[in-house]
Structures are given as structure tokens and as C-alpha cells.
Amino acid sequence: MNLNGLTKKNKLIYSVVFDLLGMVSYVFPFVDVFWAPISAYLMVKMYDGYVGKIGGIISFVEEAVPGFDFFPSFTLTWLYVYKWKKH
């Protein structure tokens, strides 16, 4: 799966969808067991280098720890890469 080759707009769409999927655990708490490692993998595949690795760790922890699912890690990473980071 090559998520790194997506356009800026498509990465934003995927980010919002992935964050919404992570919030499903409010209804079905057992989903986090499966979603935490998948979200970390997707984050690493979506963003290169340091950003992807740190984002993957944050995404995993955010999904694995109960109560932190409100944190939109994919969307915040997109904002960091495309809006806040100095190029």
C-alpha cells in the first residue's frame, strides 16, 4: 500500500477517514486492539522519515490508551506537514 504517493488533498481525506475510524472505539471498545497497530502502520506509510515514525508512535499510543481516541492524530500530522512546518 503506497499512501506516500497521494496528493495533499487525498492525504487530508484519508486522514479524516482514519481519525473517524479510530473514534469507532467509543461505540465498540475492542476495536482498538486491532486499530492501534494498523493506524501506526498507516501513519508510517503515509509520511516519510521522522514525521512518519513519530506520528506512528503517537498514533499507536493514542489508539491503545483508553480515552485518547478524541485526538485526531492523522489530521494533526497533515496540518503539521502541510500548514505548520517551515519548508
25 within domain boundaries: yes
Q: What is the pTM of this model?
A: 0.88
Number of folded domains that form the chain: 1
35 within domain boundaries: yes
- Range 55-63, long-range pairs (CB < 8 A, 24+ positions): 60/36, 62/22, 63/22, 63/25, 63/32, 63/35, 63/36, 63/39
Residues spanned by the domain of 34: 8-81
56 within domain boundaries: yes
pLDDT tens for each residue of 34-66:
999 999 999 999 998 999 999 999 999 999 888
87 within domain boundaries: no
